[in-house]
Chain A
């Protein structure tokens, strides 16, 4: 299905995206290892170029399919990677520290690598997926997952920063732990807000498609579990002063849950979301 020329263009853009993300990751690592400011700048540009190519690939696939490319494992995985890229660029721009790139690009590359392993065939939408809510529900999920991806990367930085306290390069390029903690919190807050939006829009859509806005389908249940985990994280920060290390570990666990909700539930537990 789809215009063969557009299919080839999408394929080329997708591989260009992978190459650019890989280049960005390598440049960020080199920048971090050699303390070369110029390489850090180049890595940032490579990430931006990768994001542009990625946006192009998604747009071409959308034109090819005649709908938003958000309805199967490949499309959601590549959109998920796009969401992490977008959130990474926003956080890089807002908080202005390049070292974040060295931690976030491997996550992006892993997710887009997973997408590359999926079937890229363009299929028509089944009736239940033909809804405007698909666009709202899945695009908010992309932002939520992307933000949780950033919180995971920043939390990993926090945990390593603790061990690398004596290293000059870490002191120079990685913000103070207190700041990392707050950035991770802000990423979780963004993700949590959007995850709530995902659950609510999913409920509205389920009500019009299946006649029930909540039916304890495994995907719904795991989205709720993820929501509970991050709710505990947010409460612990307020009540028990769980800042720093414990919060970083909790944010990382939360992201593992996000990944399971996305990949594990679809592959291990059958349910009405199995196509997603």
Chain B
């Protein structure tokens, strides 16, 4: 039991907190410098010697999702929670009984930071103390006492609480949030994963400025609950997600799509909409696959023969494709609009290039919790830094002068300097 208690005390200590923060810094540096989420072969070839092997062994290829990072975060949470639990009773006591004139005067060594000729009430006000208590001490001397910003003592405690709520919200979000991607061209309807919803892309528009830069991507969407038949429509654009059925629909990405037609002889046998990056298995031609690699609306080639698009206008459209047969490359080329790829009696053509949209559908039931945590964190930091607990007191001496002293959490020297400056300004410092 004693060992457990000792281990818990060590885990809840400031030393442990600093060690955890240092380890988190190292993890974050590794996670930002080493490319994340690549395949194992990448690390083995990109990093010389055993570095690649070490990266994979330590999980540095996916730092933020590996077990030790989660454990480190759990330790941080335990530390924050333990620290707050241990400090809570003392903070309650301090707030209730820690700031009283009796306690303050009994602990005072009697040394004045400032001496005033008359009653220091104006000085108290100038120092920002509104409620000043007039009382007599144990020796019957006239005293003044004021305290402000008692809540300041709670700043660090609330900061820890805010951090805990943020981490909890984020962790719950990672566990329970769901995310799906649907892409297509206007007119297409696709299922949203296994949610029972269907998404119809009614329209998609890429708004261009005069200088041809993109102003906005806007998708008009209809979401249908296939179980109840309920439908709802709306618009999603970048920075303005559509909120429907407890989900958020984001206009996430875009690219080019085109119609693909396949003929056997003169007979049209197959047609489909293909987005750049997709493949099409040609029917009745076993093993023949067409990959639509890229689209160039204004096709041109540079000095080395590499293709690029001269503008975003459809001046000279060309489709970059690769044709595979039985897994082997049969051909690769940039096909101008109106031309066909021919394989035996089969011919293939691209047509009607247009933008497709990629819609991301998300449901994170705990975003609000992380938001609350963020709010608490901000408020707590303000309390910790700007509502410093300060006490000011004064005792009347036998010669009629007043000895004034005070204390401020996190700012003693500046507090005293201000006290001296304002004592001069109030015009009644003792000569």
Q: Is the interface of B mostly helix, strand, loop or mixed?
A: helix
Q: Are A222 and B32 in contact (CB under 8 A)?
A: yes
Contact call A127/B237, Cβ cutoff below 8 A: yes
The answer to the question of B136 belonging to the interface, with a C-beta cut-off of 8 Å to chain A, is: no
A196-B377, A196-B381 known; A176 and B25 CB under 8 Å?
no
Q: Residue on B with the closest CB to A236? A: B18
- Contact B239–A131 (Cβ < 8 Å): yes
For the complex, is A203 an interface residue (Cβ under 8 Å from B)? yes
Contact B14 A235 (CB under 8 A): yes
| Chain B residue, CB-CB nearest to A221 | B32
Is B47 close to A, CB under 8 A? no
Assess whether A200 is in contact with B374, with CB atoms less than 8 Å apart: yes
Collect the chain A residues with CB atoms within 8 Å of residue B17's CB: 235
Q: Which residues of A contact B18 (CB under 8 A)?
A: 232, 235-236
Q: Is the CB of A208 within 8 A of B378?
A: no
Q: Which of B213, B217, B377, B411 contacts A182 (CB 8 A)?
A: B411
Docked Cα-Cα span, A130 to B240, in Å, equals 10
Question: A190: CB under 8 A from chain B?
Answer: yes
- Cα distance, A211 to B252, chains bound together (Å): 8
* CB contact list, B208-246 vs A, under 8 A: 209, 211, 213-217, 237-241
Say yes or no: A124 contacts B374, CB within 8 Å.
no
Known: A1-B211, A190-B385. A269 touches B32 (CB 8 A): yes
Question: Quick check: is B370 within 8 A (CB to CB) of the other chain?
Answer: yes
Query: Which B residues lie within 8 Å of A235 (CB)?
Result: 14, 17-18, 21
Q: Is the CB of B32 within 8 A of A193?
A: no
> Complex formed: what's the CA distance from A250 to B164 in Å?
26
- Contact mask for chain B residues 331-347; partner A; CB cutoff 8 A; 1 contact, 0 none: 00000000000000000
Contacting pair B239 A209 (CB below 8 A): yes
Closest to B169 in A: A213
Given A124-B213, A209-B239, verify A182-B32 contact (CB < 8 Å): no
Q: Which residue of A lies closest to B26 (CB)?
A: A225
Known: A193-B385, A214-B170, A235-B18. A200 touches B378 (CB 8 A): yes
Known pairs A211-B360, A221-B32, A225-B28 / 10 extra A-B pairs, C-beta < 8 Å:
A127-B237, A179-B414, A182-B411, A185-B410, A193-B382, A210-B252, A216-B31, A221-B28, A235-B18, A238-B14
Ordered by A's residue number, 20 sampled pairs between the chains whose C-beta atoms are within 8 Å are A124-B211, A126-B213, A127-B214, A127-B237, A130-B238, A179-B413, A185-B410, A193-B381, A203-B370, A211-B179, A211-B360, A213-B370, A218-B32, A225-B28, A225-B32, A228-B21, A228-B24, A229-B25, A232-B22, A265-B32
Query: Using a CB–CB distance below 8 Å, which chain B residues touch chain A?
Result: 14, 17-18, 21-22, 24-25, 28-29, 31-33, 36, 64, 156, 170, 179, 209, 211, 213-217, 237-241, 248, 250, 252, 360, 362, 367, 370-371, 374, 377-378, 381-382, 385, 410-414, 417
Nearest 10 A/B pairs, CB to CB: A127-B238, A189-B385, A211-B250, A200-B374, A239-B14, A218-B32, A221-B32, A131-B239, A216-B64, A178-B413
